[in-house]
Amino acid sequence: MNAVALSLHSPGALAGALRAGGVEAGDADSVASGATPCAVRFTGLGQPTLEALARHAGKLGLDLATGDDWAIVAGSRARLSTLAQPFRVPAELAELALALGSALPHEPATAWEVARGTLRLDRPLIAGILNLTPDSFSDGGNLTSLDVALRHAEQLVQDGARMLDVGGESTRPGRTAVVPDDEELRRVLPVIERLAAEFPGVTVAIDTVKASVAKAALDAGAAVVNDVSGLRFDPEMAPVVARAGAGLVLMHSRGEHLELSSYAHARYDDGVVGAVLGELRAGIDAAVAAGIPLAAVAVDPGLGFGKTTAHSLALLDQLRAFLALGRPVYLGPSRKRFLGEVSGRAVAERDGLTAVACALAWERGARIFRVHDVRQAADALALATALEPSSPPA
């Protein structure tokens, strides 16, 4: 007899072992997903709910820890899914069952609809950064002409970028003024027009919070709007995205233009993950209500935007929770302040750390990665995807 433990930090090893034993791929993936461990934290629970949960959780084989008004329920995803059925649990648990159903993570999205077609997400989608600004925190002033920007874009594509994220306004900490619309357009439009013409197989995203800039960029060939305000700043942004059939990156942030990268609103009394999840869910609802198809929305937890280093690390670690939103998870860790604070590295020395963050994020369910150094990120993500076994471990 021989016994080998199967790591269940992701369902790949179990699925591979089942397929090797003759189980059909779809059934193997379903069983492996159901066996994956999961824990959910509830707050604001009344005594009747806590008592009913204590009685019922044991019957389902779930582990339970409780306090005055909270509970943590843990077990396999399949057993938790049984608890998430409001018509099959005691009446005192119906509301909890609904909340659990909305909190359980989905499988990572495999596609994203944008203006120029469907982007596949069964492999990492890397967005190379083109900062056309004089004052960005790590590379401001580097792309000083159209030709230099195009050469840099060509290198990003050669290194593995399937998307180019073009920005004409910095969101760096400490900035003191908002860039006028006409200046932002002057910076980005010539580049977007040439990118659309010279790289027809590459998706172009416009990074802006201004509807006028987004519309002009989409008309010039961009297919995605990356709005770091999460549709909060410009009421015309959502209609512009909807009319163009564009993809939308809905990023979490707080505060006004000049506060985005500060700690002015970095207070999350009940935990940063739950707060960001709730605010992104509200943003998705607003986008859909404005006519943007759900399939066009990707979500970004906004590492470093109104978050301390501890907040950003918690979000990176708990990214799988954002799969409950049912949308692709987009991540921008590149050269961020939190990477410097955990390593002591200067901005220019953080590309290796960025690549590690991308690999960890892939394992936790992120599928789209916005980075400065595409080659290092692509190498790290190649290793991360290779560690998803299709056969049992040796």
Residue 142 binned pLDDT confidence (cut-offs 50, 70, 90): low
Determine which one of 335, 350, 370, 375 is catalytic: 370
Q: Average pLDDT, stretch 104-114?
A: 95
Residue 122 binned pLDDT confidence (cut-offs 50, 70, 90): very high
Q: Average pLDDT, stretch 198-207?
A: 97
Q: Average pLDDT, stretch 373-381?
A: 98
59 is catalytic: no
What SS3 class is residue 254?
Answer: coil
Residue 391 binned pLDDT confidence (cut-offs 50, 70, 90): very low
Q: Shortest CA distance to 202 belongs to which of 152, 146, 127, 148?
A: 127
Q: How many residues does the chain have?
A: 394
Residue range 307-342, pLDDT digits in tens: 999 999 999 999 999 999 999 999 999 999 999 999
Query: Tokens 């874009």 identify what position?
Result: 153
Q: Average pLDDT, stretch 171-185?
A: 85
Determine which one of 336, 337, 364, 375 is catalytic: 336
- How far, in Å, CA of 150 to CA of 109, rounded? 31
Tell whether domain 111-386 is in CATH 3.20.20.20: yes
Of the listed ranges 17-26, 76-85, 253-262, 271-280, the one predicted with least confidence: 17-26
Which run of H or of E encompasses 376? helix 374-386
pLDDT for 9: 72
Mean per-residue pLDDT of the chain = 92
Q: Average pLDDT, stretch 363-367?
A: 95
Q: What contacts 173, CB < 8 A, 6 or more positions away?
A: 137, 261, 262, 337
Question: Within 13 Å, how many C-alpha atoms sit on residue 318's CB side?
Answer: 22
- How far, in Å, CA of 292 to CA of 327, rounded? 13
Whether pLDDT at 248 is above 50: yes
Whether pLDDT at 101 is above 60: yes
Residue range 297-308, pLDDT digits in tens: 999 999 999 999
Instruction: Determine phi and psi for 381, rounding to 5 degrees.
Output: -70, -30
Whether pLDDT at 166 is above 80: yes
With contact defined as beta carbons under 8 Å apart, do 369 and 124 qualify? yes
- How far, in Å, CA of 225 to CA of 230, rounded? 11
Q: Shortest CA distance to 367 belongs to which of 112, 157, 22?
A: 112
215 is catalytic: no
Residue 121 binned pLDDT confidence (cut-offs 50, 70, 90): very high
CA distances from 36 to 26, 182, 262, 385 (A): 16, 51, 37, 18
pLDDT for 394: 45
Tokens for 225, please give them: 């709007």
Higher pLDDT, 353 or 176: 353
Whether pLDDT at 393 is above 70: no
- Domains of the chain by residue range: 35-103, 111-386
